[in-house]
Amino acid sequence: MYRYLLFYKPYNVLSQFSDRDASKINHEGSSVLPTERGTLKDYIQVPSVYPVGRLDRDSEGLLLLTNNGRLQHRLSDRRFRHPRTYWVQVERIPDEAALNQLRSGVVVQDYLTRPALVQLLPEAPSLPPRQPPIRFRKTVPTAWLEITLTEGRNRQVRRMTAAVGLPTLRLVRIAIAHLRLDSLAPGEWRDLTSEELEPLLRL
C-alpha cells in the first residue's frame, strides 16, 4: 500500500534516514568524532518511504515522503515545474531592483534561474523559534521574503538571495504545490488527506 506523509523538518536534520557521513576526522587527522545531526529516522518510523526532493540541513519546513516511486520522480524532476514556496529571512531590506532581479532570474554558478514569484512580506511570519536562533546583528536590519520556485537546484534560494546582496539567515519551505505546512509543528508528521492526495494522483 502506498503511503504519503507530510513532515515538518526541523533545523539541523538531514533529509535522509541515515547519516552517511556520521563521523569526521579532527584537525590532526588522528581521531574520529561523531557529528550531531538528526536524520528522518529520529522522527519517522514508517518503513520504505523516501523524501520527494530534499531540504538542506540548515533549512526547515515541508517535506513530502512516499513509497510511490513514480510520483516521487514526477515531483522531483525540474522538467515538470511543480511550485515550491519558501519564507526567507535575509540580511538588509531589499529594494525593488533586487526583488525584480530575483523575479526575472539571476545567474547562479553556471546557470540562469527560472523566473520566480517574489514578494516582500510586510512583517515577520508566524513561525516557531529556530533552535539555535539565527545570528543577530544590531546594525543590520533583516526582512522576510516569500519566494516560489518551479525548479529545485542545490541551495538555490540561498544562492539567489546572495547573488543580489541579500544573504539568507533563515529558510523555511511552507508549501509544495497545493500542500501546506500550516497544521504541523517542527518534528511532526501526518498522512495526507484524501483531498490533498487526489491532485497528486492526477499527475
Pick the CATH number of 1-80+179-203 from 3.30.230.10, 3.40.50.2300, 3.30.70.580, 3.40.50.150: 3.30.70.580
Catalytic one among 21, 56, 77, 95?
A: 56
Render the burial of 109-140: b for 16+ CB within 10 Å, e for the rest.
eeeebeebebeeeeeeeebeebeeeeeeeeee
The tens digit of pLDDT for each residue in 158-185 reads 999 999 999 999 999 999 999 999 889 9
Give the residue range(s) of CATH 3.30.70.580 domains in the chain.
1-80+179-203
Q: Is residue 66 within 8 Å of 5, Cβ to Cβ? A: yes
Q: What is the pTM of this model?
A: 0.89
- Please, what is the end-to-end C-alpha distance for the chain in angstroms? 18
Which DSSP state fits 73? H
pLDDT of residue 105: 94
pLDDT of residue 138: 83
Contacts of 165 (CB under 8 A, 6+ apart): 92, 98
Give the residue range(s) of CATH 3.30.70.1560 domains in the chain.
83-176
- What would the CATH number be for the domain defined by 83-176? 3.30.70.1560
pLDDT band at 72 (very low <50, low <70, confident <90, very high): confident
CA atoms within 13 A on the CB side of 177: 18
Average pLDDT over residues 56-64: 96
The tens digit of pLDDT for each residue in 113-142 reads 999 999 999 999 999 999 889 988 888 999
Q: What cell numbers appear for 195 in the block? A: 483531498
Nearest to 143 by CA among 125, 155, 160: 125
State yes or no: is 191 an active-site residue.
no
